Structure 1
Amino acid sequence: MRVDKYLWCVRYFKTRSIATNACKKGHVRVNGDIVKPSRDVYPTDKIEVRKNQINYIIEVLDLPPSRVGAKLINIYLTDITPKENLEKLDLLKYSQDYYRKKGTGRPTKKDRRELDDWFDIDNAEENTEQNKENGDN
Structure 2
Amino acid sequence: MTEPGDTIRLDKWLWQARFFKSRSIAAAVVTAGPVRVDGTPVSKPARAVGPGQVLTFPQERDVRVVRIRACGTRRGPAVEAQALFDDLSPVVVRAPINPRFDGGGRPTGKDRRDMDAAKGRDDPFALE
TM-score range, shorter chain: 0.5 to 0.7
**Aligned equivalents of 1:75 and 1:52: distance in 2?**
22
Deviation track 1:4-37 (CA, whole Å, cap 9, x = no partner) reads: 0000001000000000000011132111112111
Unaligned 5+ residue runs, structure 2? 1-7, 102-128
**Aligned equivalents of 1:7 and 1:99: distance in 2?**
34
**Aligned equivalents of 1:25 and 1:74: distance in 2?**
25
Greater RCO between the two (CA within 8 Å, min separation 6)?
A: 2
Q: Between the two proteins, what is the percent identity of the paired residues? A: 29
Match of 2:17 among 10, 18, 24: 10
| 1:62 Cα offset (Å) | 0.7
1:31 aligned onto 2:38: yes
| 1:74 Cα offset (Å) | 2.7
- Residue identity matched to 1:42: G
Deviation track 1:96-136 (CA, whole Å, cap 9, x = no partner) reads: 20579xxxxxxxxxxxxxxxxxxxxxxxxxxxxxxxxxxxx
SS at match of 2:86: strand
Asked if 1 retains the 8 angstrom alpha-carbon contact of 2:75 and 2:81, the reply is no
Asked if 2 retains the 8 angstrom alpha-carbon contact of 1:27 and 1:51, the reply is no
1:55 aligned onto 2:55: no
Judging by fraction of residues, say which structure has more strand. Answer: 2
Match of 1:81 among 74, 82, 89: 89
SS at match of 1:57: strand
SS at match of 2:49: coil
Task: Name the structure 1 match of 2:98.
Answer: 97
Deviation track 1:58-112 (CA, whole Å, cap 9, x = no partner) reads: 10001100112101123211111012xx32xx33xx1x20579xxxxxxxxxxxx
Judging by fraction of residues, say which structure has more helix. Answer: 1
Give the number of aligned pairs.
93
Unaligned 5+ residue runs, structure 1? 101-137
CA RMSD of aligned residues (A): 1.6
TM-score by length of 1: 0.63
